[in-house]
Amino acid sequence: MPGSLTAGENDGVRSVHTRAALTGLVFAAPAFVVLLPGGWLDERGEGMTRNVEPPDLPNVLHVALLVVAAVALVGSLFVLLSRTGRRACRRADLSVAWPLLVAALYVGVTYKVATAAVSGANIGAGLLFMLGVVTVPPLLALAGFNAVRTNHSA
C-alpha cells in the first residue's frame, strides 16, 4: 500500500516524535517556570529591590508566552506518557534529556528567585548562584558524555 510505513520505519517515526517531545520538555518546562506569575506581577513597594530586573514585557505578551510554554509542556508530556511514547522512548535518549532538563529547571528557578522583589538582601538568589556554578556544568557535561556515548554505540 503506497504511503504506509513498515514496522521499522514506524519505529523510526515514533523515535523522532519522542525525541521532539523530549526536546520540547527540556525547553518548555523551564520557560513555564520562568513565566509563571509572580515576579512580573509584583508591584515595587517601599524598600523592595531585585537582584536582577526582569525584562519589561507587556502583560499580554507575557501571558501569551506563558500559554505557549504551557501548551508545549502539556503536549510533550502527553506524547511521552502515552503508551506509544513510553514504548518508543529509548533509554539513550532519556540519559541525555534528564540532565539537560534538571539543569534547565535549576536555571529557571534561579532566575525566578533572582528576579523576586525582596526587602533587603536576596540571600536565596546568592545561594542558588553559588550552587549553580557547582551543579549546572557537571549536568551539562553528563548530558554531553551520554550523547557521545550513545552516538558511538549506535
pLDDT tens profile 29-88: 999 999 988 755 555 566 777 788 888 888 899 899 999 999 999 999 998 888 887 888
Following CA atoms 19, 22, 24, 29 in sequence, which dihedral angle do they give, to the nearest 10 degrees?
180
pTM: 0.82
Tell me the CA end-to-end span of the chain in Å, nearest whole number.
Answer: 31
Q: Are 152 and 92 in contact (CB under 8 A)?
A: no
**Exposed, middle or buried by CB within 10 Å (0-12, 13-18, 19+), for 104?**
buried
- pLDDT at position 144: 94
Q: Where are the domains of the chain?
A: 7-153
- pLDDT at position 1: 45
**Residue 118 burial (CB count, 10 A):** 16
Query: For residue 72, what are the contacts with CB-CB under 8 A and spacing of at least 6?
Result: 24, 27, 28, 31
Q: Which of 70, 79, 87, 85 is nearest to 27 (CA)?
A: 70
Q: Alpha-carbon distance 74 to 108, whole Å? A: 18
Q: Average per-residue pLDDT in the chain?
A: 84
